[in-house]
Amino acid sequence: MMWIPLAFVLLFSTGFICARLGTMDAEPFTLLLVRSLLVLPVLGIILWARRAPNQWGNRAQRGCQMGVGMLLHGAYLGGVFAAVKAGLPAGLTALLVSLHPLATAALSLPLLGVRLGPKQWCGLALGATGASLVLSGGLEASHGWPLVGLAWCLMALVGISSATLWQKRLSGGMGMVEGLIFQYLGAALVFSVAATWIGSFTFDPTPRLLLTLAWLVGAISVGAIWLLMIMIARGEAHQVARTFFLVPPCAAVMAWLMFDEQWTLPMIIGAALVVAGLALDRPAANQANAARGNAAKPSANQGKSTHPEQTTK
């Protein structure tokens, strides 16, 4: 369903806008701790309203979901918000974390056994080049960036790449809402420690901060992350990762609308390269999905005993 990745890109791109707006009135780890604690009751309401059998998984699965949350919400979002707070431009932050598809694709071979062909690697490289050009116009005015901010960005990149691969290996055996609950519990643990040892617990509840927090909870923490889990469960890790190539140009458009940041020729060329990179990778991805579907048919007719998840209780 094409609307899922498109909706995810739109929602996820607003995170960089929220990072700048939210850290104007709050310390980043305190803001993200409050956000995580507010998401938990929302997910509880969703779980109650669903009125379906709960799928909490076993102890190992719950622990793994907490680990994914520490990486996806803790390391990634914590790194992004801390980088912006440290003075790194939101555009540059979006650019650096947009390299996540390359890192995920490189790690997919040793960790998941996914082999990428030359065409797919060219598509990833083309997308990364385009993502760089999209934001180059806004970065030309920068005369230097804080090393601390760059370090936070690197942590965010490692966190989201690792979480994507880990979540792919964990797909199945646990409900999506239940998994998100344990992910946010893990994130809350990370942010509470970070706010205590690194942050200052600064939180000035201005209308701007409260609106930003509401958007972080509803649109990003629940909406965007839920869509991300759906995409990871339905596609290969590198196919999910390539969606992030659309985030930098989308974030640039939002920054233009909100902060009157103008588009330059390199940004327009970069947006075209991003689309070309996605188009170059798509046929190979579709063929791979079809091959997996054909390979699954014979085993499905051999009986339930061939499926590990049906032989273990």
Closest CA to 147 of 195, 98, 86: 86
Higher pLDDT, 71 or 281: 71
pLDDT for the residue numbered 212: 96
Distance of CA 10 to the CA centre of its chain: 12
Q: What integer is the mean pLDDT of 290-306?
A: 43
Separation of alpha carbons 191 and 156, rounded Å: 14
Q: Which two tokens stand for residue 295?
A: 């390979």
144 band by pLDDT with thresholds 50, 70 and 90:
low
135 band by pLDDT with thresholds 50, 70 and 90:
low
pLDDT for the residue numbered 284: 44
pTM: 0.76
Burial 86-108 (b: 16+ CB within 10 A, else e): bebbbbbbbbbbbbbbbbbbebb
Lowest-pLDDT range of 209-218, 269-278, 302-311: 302-311
pLDDT for the residue numbered 139: 59
The residue to which tokens 């901010």 are assigned? 149
Q: How much of the chain exceeds pLDDT 70, in percent?
A: 75
pLDDT for the residue numbered 230: 81
Contacts of 36 (CB under 8 A, 6+ apart): 73, 184, 187, 188, 191, 221
Q: How much of the chain exceeds pLDDT 90, in percent?
A: 26
184 band by pLDDT with thresholds 50, 70 and 90:
very high
Burial 18-49 (b: 16+ CB within 10 A, else e): bbbbbbebbbbbbbbbbbbbbbeeebeeebee
pLDDT for the residue numbered 283: 41
Higher pLDDT, 186 or 132: 186
Q: What integer is the mean pLDDT of 245-254?
A: 80
- pLDDT tops 80 at residue 97: yes
pLDDT in tens, 47-91: 888 777 777 878 888 888 999 999 988 999 999 999 989 888 777
Lowest-pLDDT range of 77-91, 184-198, 228-242: 228-242
* 18 contacts 215 by C-beta, under 8 angstroms: yes
233 band by pLDDT with thresholds 50, 70 and 90:
confident
The single-letter DSSP state of residue 203 is B
The single-letter DSSP state of residue 264 is -
Q: Which two tokens stand for residue 61?
A: 């699965």
Separation of alpha carbons 269 and 57, rounded Å: 47
pLDDT for the residue numbered 308: 35
Helix (H, G, I), strand (E, B), or coil: what is residue 284?
A: helix
Q: What integer is the mean pLDDT of 285-307?
A: 43
- pLDDT tops 90 at residue 123: no
Q: What integer is the mean pLDDT of 265-289?
A: 65
